Each structure stands twice: as C-alpha cells, then as structure tokens.
Structure 1
Amino acid sequence: MRNITELIEHYLKQSLENSLEGTIEIQRSDLADKFSCVPSQINYVISTRFTLEKGYFVESKRGGGGYIRIQRVDLPSLEAVQRHIRQTVGETIDQTTAEGLIYQLVEARFVTEREAYLLKAVMSRDALALKLPVRDEIRAKLLKAMLIALLTK
C-alpha cells in the first residue's frame, strides 16, 4: 500500500497528464478533504515533489479563493535538453540539484530508470568523498559528461 504522500503525488501527476494545457489549479483544502489529510500535507507534497528542478512551476495564492497552480515545464527537444543541462549544471552542482535534473530527464523519458539509478549513484556524497567546493565541481563535470554521452546515443 502506498503512503498518502505518494497517493497525492500520483493524483496530481495524473491530473496534469489529463490537462490539455499542462496546468492544473487546485484548492489546498479541497485536496486535503479528498485525501482526508491536513492541508500542510498537501504543502509538503507540492514543495518536495513538484519543484522546478523536477520540471514543475508552482504558483500559490493564499487567502479566500486562493489556489495552487502547478504547471509542467517540458523539455522539448534534444538540443534544448543539452542546452538546459549546460545552463543548469554550470561549473558546480550540489547533489539535490543534480538529482532533480536526473528526475526531470526520467520524467521526460530522455534517460531510463536504470540510467538514472547509475547517475544518482555517481552523484552521491558517498561516491564523491571530497571536501566542498571540489566535490560540487567534480560532480558538475561528471554529470555533464555522462548526460551529454547518454543523450547523444
């Protein structure tokens, strides 16, 4: 059985897939009622599972009639993805940002789950047991090299 966080995430992703515009607007309280949870659980799911690094733009308006708007940011073409990688990675990258980029590439089906698993293993602090900022510099160089190689296959 999945936990409530995964159920909410799955529901929101399905809603986004079914949306013609690639955007959904939800009310936190309505979603909390639907899943019999507190609104802060909805906030947690959105803030951890729907980040820009993972390919989502979230806009929130609080108060009466407030809403949360979630929009999927798609990576359109291989060239655009390669450009996005060069811009996102830069000279340094931390583990969380690297994993977010890998997640986004899996979601867009540019890399497989297996490739993502290997990429994440190499990006981990355990594999790169170096002091900062050298660790983030080496992580950036490795990630760029591996992604460019994977995406030009």
Structure 2
Amino acid sequence: MLIAAFAVILVTVVIQGASLGWLIRRLEPKDSDPAPPMSLPQAEATVAKAKLRAVEANAYDERGELIHPHLLEQQQARARATERYASDADGFMDGIQSHFDVMLLVIAEGRRELLALHRAGKIEDEVLHDLERDLDLEEVSITFQRGAQLDLR
C-alpha cells in the first residue's frame, strides 16, 4: 500500500510537475479569443458612472434637499478618477501607486495607535478587535487594489 501511494505521488507530482513547463513551451498555446471591445479602465469608468447615477438618484430627499452630500462627493470623485484612468492608464498609475503607499502607511499608523490605546488600558479587547478588523479590511482592500494595478502595467 505504501509503495503504491509513493508511486502515485511520484508520478503525479514529480513527473507531471517537472514536464508541465516543457510541454507548455513545446506546444506554445495561443490565445485565439478576439480582443474585447472595452478595456479594463473603460469598464471601470462605465461602472463608476453607473454607481454615480444611482447615488445621484438617491442623494436627495423628496423636497430636493441634498441628504447625502459626502456620498455624492465621494462618487463624483471616483467617477472623475476612473475617467482619467480610462483616458490615460499609464499616466494615472504613476500617481495612484504613491497614493496606495501612503494609505498603507496611514493604516500602519492607525494600527500602532490602536495597540497603544489597548496596552494603556484605554480600550477593551472587544473594541481592539472591532477596530483591528476594520483596519485589516482596509489594508486587504488597498493591498489587493495596489497589486491589481501593478499587474495592469
């Protein structure tokens, strides 16, 4: 039984794993799908415009008074940014990378302050965990966006 298991592992992992790169280089697979009519930056700009329309439709109450000014401003800024990104992705990327770097530094500083508050006994464990979760989510989001942006270059 052990010999059979060893043989299966040897064949599936070592032999197939070692030969896969050689096989791919030998076959040279080509992507035959036609290019999509819309690029990623263009699609992001289209989605941002749709989100802005949804916010604009719901940012005012029935009397026409603005009740969600921050949300409206935020979505307008995102729509403008994605429009700039769609028109000049390479130029936009230079500025956005430094933005992501600063945001990660800001999160790290927030985390240091949070731990200092906890160590000083000013906040309970539950508060620490709730705020750590928020910082973790922000960090994961920015790290993912930063990585996705790097992949686009």
Shorter-chain TM range is under 0.3
Q: TM-score, normalised by structure 1?
A: 0.25
Q: TM-score, normalised by structure 2?
A: 0.25
Using CA pairs below 8 Å that are at least 6 residues apart, which structure has the higher relative contact order?
Answer: 1
